[in-house]
Structure 1
Amino acid sequence: MKKFDLIIIGAGRASNLAVSAGKAGKKVAIIEKSTLGGTCPNRGCVPSKLLIGYAHVANAIKESNRHFINSTINNIDIEKIFAETNEYISKIDGRYNSRFNENVEVFKGTGFFVSDNIIKVNEQKLTAPKIVIATGTKPKKPEHEKAWTSDDIFPLEGKIPKSITIVGSGFIACELAGFFSAIGIETKLLVRSQNILGNEDDEIASIFKKEFSKKVDIEFDTSAIDVEYKNEQFTMILENTNGQKKQHKSEALLYAIGRESNTSSLKLENTSIEINERGYIKRDIFFETTAKGVYVVGDAAGVYMLQHAAAYEVNHVSKILLEECEEPLHFKYMPHAVFTDPEIASVGLTEQEAKKLNIEYISTTTNWLASAKAMSTKLKYPVTKFIVNPKNYEILGCHMIGPESSTMMHQVLAVMHINNDIRHLKEMLYIHPAMSEAILPAAVESVRAIEKFRE
């Protein structure tokens, strides 16, 4: 039995905790069954955004006519695109490992619980008074054994397909469909309903559907049935909700139909750790599970399943374990973005959620055309939507669609973090004529609507 001060299961965002604990002189064991860094830098956020960078350039060339520029793409070196991305991924394990000092011992393998405070990995038993579970999530299993999930894209080894069918309607499906289509791989996105990005505000999702459909071949109300794989090609029957069927073929088939709990390998049945009805680990306001001394952070808890949320949680758990912090972590808001073309950024309540909660609110939607920088894009669809409390000017939700929405949203987030009052956005000084200046008329319109409501 090897004794440690801290055991961490999962070396994604929680690797930061291992670094901090090691520097604090704690003896740390960190267990990872795959590559250090976890999903985000290896199979998720980072490599997907590297690929999307190529898509943005390709789309800009294709759409240059709106700037009165006639241009063509002579060649897209798809193999080079993937080779460069794969090379980046190949160095991640080493980068993460180099951050650990002599107090941190890395165990490569699947760790599982023997009891509340004993972990077994590679036939070795480890124990510590404090254990942190940070095992993340995994893609839901595809409906055909030869089909891919997002985990199979990074790194994409072997033959790069000339055609791909993607099943799903969430941000992973849309981001990957947007990339493959932009670089010239024949792409079809299958959506089982009329809704795409269904978690977004309905008004924003409607704009997205219209614009994204111009770039990607989407079959709505359609499912793939009778899928066969033969001679390195998928043959499937596409069936819509009216019962109409047609044959479709592609070299690759990818399912992006959501993610699920990744805790099945932990053997929690050997512990007093409880899970909820969705299979995620229960925890209290200090991230502690129902087993004393065992904590859970990030996606494994199934609360805010976003990388920036996991990093925020790990930072706070570090304070609890290493600095004797006795304050719980309260998220004031939880923003997210969809890095597609068009790009979306969102925080807080959608209008449909506000209606469902039966709360009083004011909603305004304002275009970006007051900003010359926004006008220079020659795009007419970008808008900012505010949902605010008319009683105290509190921003309940903000939703943007347009170039660099994820960057622009941080101006709103700063106000929400410090003193959530939309009047700050109305009164502040903006750089003219920056893209973010488009937030000013949106804030002015929202405040005007509130004042009219209060008359």
Structure 2
Amino acid sequence: MEKFDLIIIGAGRASGLAVNAGKAGRKVALIEKSTLGGTCPSRGCVPSKLLIGYANVARGIKESARHFIDSKIENIDKKKIFEKTNRYIDSIDGAYARRLNENVEVIYGEGSFLSNYVVEVNGRKLQADKIVIATGTKPIAPAHEKAWTSDNVFPLLGDIPKSITIVGSGFIACELANFFDAIDIETKMLVRNETLLGNEDEDISNIFKEEFTKNVDVAFNTTIEDIDYQEDSFKLTLLNSNGQKQEHLTHRLLYATGRESNAGSLKLENTDIKVNERGYIVSDEDLQTTVDGVYVVGDANGKYMLQHAAAYEVNHLSKVLLEGEKSKVRFKYMPHGVFTDPEIASVGMSEKKLQEANIKYVANTTDWLASAKAQSTRLKYPRTKFLINPDTYEILGCHMIGPESATMMHQVLAVMHIDNDIRHLKDMIYIHPALSESLLPAAIKVISAVKKYNLKSST
């Protein structure tokens, strides 16, 4: 039995905890079955955003006519794009390893529990009083063994697709479809219903659907009835809601239909650690599982499956384990972005969720055209939607669609984090004519709507 001060299973965002623990002189075992850094930097949010950078440039050239500029793309060097992205991915493991000191032992392999405080990896038995589970999630398995998922598409980017079909309607599907289509790879999306980005506020997702489908070929109400793989391509039999069938040929097939828990590989049946009905590890406000001293962070707990949530949790747990922090981990508000074309940012509840919860609110949606910078994009669809508590002026939800939405959202987040009163956005000074200036009329209009609501309610 090898004894450690701390065992960490999963070297994604939790590798930061290993860095801090090593600096503090703790003996750490860091177990990773793939590459250090985890999904985000090697096969998730970071490489996908690098690809979107290329897509944005290509889209700008293709859509230059709306600025009265005639232009065309002579060539897109897809090989260079993929090589550059893969070079970044190849550097990840080494970059993370260089942050660790001699107190941290990296063990490549799949860790599993023998008991509450004993973990086995590569035949070695490791024991610690403090264990952190940070095993993330995995893509739901595709319907064909030759099909890609978001976890293996990036190492395969050297195999440049002649065409690609993407199954799914969430942010991963939309981000990748936007990229492939923008760089002139024939792209088709298959969606089983009529909605894209169904978790977004309905008004925002409707605008997104209208704009996104101007570029990307999306077959709604469509499923795959049969897959025939031969000669390095897929022949798909598609079935729509009217019962009509259609043959579709594609070089590559990618499934982006969601992710699921990785907990099955941990052999938790050997422990007192509990999972919920979805298979995610149960934890409390201390990030502790049902076993004292065993913690879970990131996607493995199934709560907020976002990289910035994992980073926040790891930072908090680092203070708990290394500095004696006693406070609970609490997320006041959890924002997210969808980095495609159009870009979306969201925080708080959607209008539908407020209605389902029977929460009183006032809604207002405002375009961005009061901002000259927004006008300069020559786009008419950008919108900001506020959902406000009429009694307290609290921002219950904010949803944006338009260029740099995720950046603009931080101004709203700052207000929400301090004391969450929409009136601060009306009273503050904006740089004129910055893009974020479009938040000013949005705040003014929703505040006016709240006052009218309250006046009507009092009479």
TM value normalised by structure 2: 0.98
Give the superposition deviation at 1:155: 2.0
Q: Work out the CA distance in 2 between the residues paired with 1:230 and 1:113.
A: 42
SS of the residue corresponding to residue 113 of structure 1 reads strand
Contact 2:193/2:222, CA 8 A, preserved across alignment: yes
1:28 paired residue number: 28
Q: Work out the CA distance in 2 between the residues paired with 1:91 and 1:233.
A: 31
Give the superposition deviation at 1:291: 1.2
Contact 1:177/1:216, CA 8 A, preserved across alignment: yes
SS of the residue corresponding to residue 365 of structure 2 reads strand
2:247 paired residue number: 247
Please tell me the residue identity of whatever aligns with 2:248: H
2:397 paired residue number: 397
Q: Work out the CA distance in 1 between the residues paired with 2:238 and 2:76.
A: 30
Please tell me the residue identity of whatever aligns with 2:395: I
Q: Work out the CA distance in 1 between the residues paired with 2:399 and 2:285.
A: 28
Contact 1:165/1:190, CA 8 A, preserved across alignment: yes
Q: Work out the CA distance in 2 between the residues paired with 1:106 and 1:319.
A: 22
Give the superposition deviation at 1:157: 4.7
Q: Work out the CA distance in 1 between the residues paired with 2:290 and 2:102.
A: 32
1:81 paired residue number: 81
Which residues of 2 match residues 166-205 of structure 1 at below 5 A? 166-205=166-205
Contact 2:83/2:158, CA 8 A, preserved across alignment: no
Q: Work out the CA distance in 1 between the residues paired with 2:152 and 2:103.
A: 34
Q: What's the CA shift string for 1:145-172, capped at 9, x where partnerless?
A: 1111011211225431110000000000
2:377 paired residue number: 377
2:334 paired residue number: 334
Q: Work out the CA distance in 1 between the residues paired with 2:33 and 2:427.
A: 51
Q: What's the CA shift string for 1:87-116, capped at 9, x where partnerless?
A: 001010000000001111100000110100
Q: Work out the CA distance in 2 between the residues paired with 1:430 and 1:20.
A: 39
Q: What's the CA shift string for 1:16-45, capped at 9, x where partnerless?
A: 000111111111110000000000000000
Which residues of 2 match residues 75-154 of structure 1 at below 5 A? 75-154=75-154
SS of the residue corresponding to residue 334 of structure 2 reads coil
SS of the residue corresponding to residue 152 of structure 1 reads coil
SS of the residue corresponding to residue 114 of structure 2 reads strand
Q: Work out the CA distance in 2 between the residues paired with 1:226 and 1:372.
A: 51
Q: Work out the CA distance in 2 between the residues paired with 1:168 and 1:292.
A: 39
Q: Work out the CA distance in 1 between the residues paired with 2:209 and 2:374.
A: 21
Q: Work out the CA distance in 2 between the residues paired with 1:159 and 1:19.
A: 35
Asked if residue 3 in structure 1 is aligned to residue 3 in structure 2, the reply is yes
SS of the residue corresponding to residue 379 of structure 1 reads coil
Please tell me the residue identity of whatever aligns with 2:334: M
Q: Work out the CA distance in 2 between the residues paired with 1:284 and 1:313.
A: 12
1:62 paired residue number: 62
Contact 2:36/2:93, CA 8 A, preserved across alignment: yes
Q: Work out the CA distance in 1 between the residues paired with 2:103 and 2:414.
A: 37
Q: Work out the CA distance in 2 between the residues paired with 1:53 and 1:247.
A: 33
Q: Work out the CA distance in 2 between the residues paired with 1:295 and 1:165.
A: 39
1:12 paired residue number: 12
Please tell me the residue identity of whatever aligns with 1:126: L
Contact 2:197/2:205, CA 8 A, preserved across alignment: yes
Please tell me the residue identity of whatever aligns with 2:218: I
Contact 2:40/2:46, CA 8 A, preserved across alignment: yes
2:163 paired residue number: 163
1:316 paired residue number: 316
Give the superposition deviation at 1:292: 1.5
Q: What's the CA shift string for 1:165-206, capped at 9, x where partnerless?
A: 000000000000000000000000000000110000000000
Please tell me the residue identity of whatever aligns with 1:186: E
Please tell me the residue identity of whatever aligns with 2:79: E
Contact 1:82/1:156, CA 8 A, preserved across alignment: no
Q: Work out the CA distance in 2 between the residues paired with 1:427 and 1:436.
A: 14
Contact 2:79/2:158, CA 8 A, preserved across alignment: no
Q: Work out the CA distance in 1 between the residues paired with 2:24 and 2:415.
A: 34
Contact 2:119/2:127, CA 8 A, preserved across alignment: yes
2:261 paired residue number: 261
Please tell me the residue identity of whatever aligns with 1:203: D
1:450 paired residue number: 450
Contact 2:17/2:314, CA 8 A, preserved across alignment: yes
Q: Work out the CA distance in 2 between the residues paired with 1:132 and 1:117.
A: 11
Aligned length: 455
Give the superposition deviation at 1:2: 1.2
Please tell me the residue identity of whatever aligns with 1:69: I
1:431 paired residue number: 431
RMSD: 0.6
Asked if residue 227 in structure 1 is aligned to residue 227 in structure 2, the reply is yes
Give the superposition deviation at 1:258: 0.1
SS of the residue corresponding to residue 446 of structure 2 reads helix
Contact 2:82/2:158, CA 8 A, preserved across alignment: no
Q: Work out the CA distance in 2 between the residues paired with 1:228 and 1:323.
A: 57
SS of the residue corresponding to residue 76 of structure 1 reads coil
1:214 paired residue number: 214
SS of the residue corresponding to residue 380 of structure 1 reads coil
Please tell me the residue identity of whatever aligns with 2:220: F
Please tell me the residue identity of whatever aligns with 1:149: T
Q: Work out the CA distance in 2 between the residues paired with 1:20 and 1:444.
A: 45
Q: Work out the CA distance in 2 between the residues paired with 1:244 and 1:271.
A: 51
SS of the residue corresponding to residue 195 of structure 2 reads coil
Give the superposition deviation at 1:427: 0.3
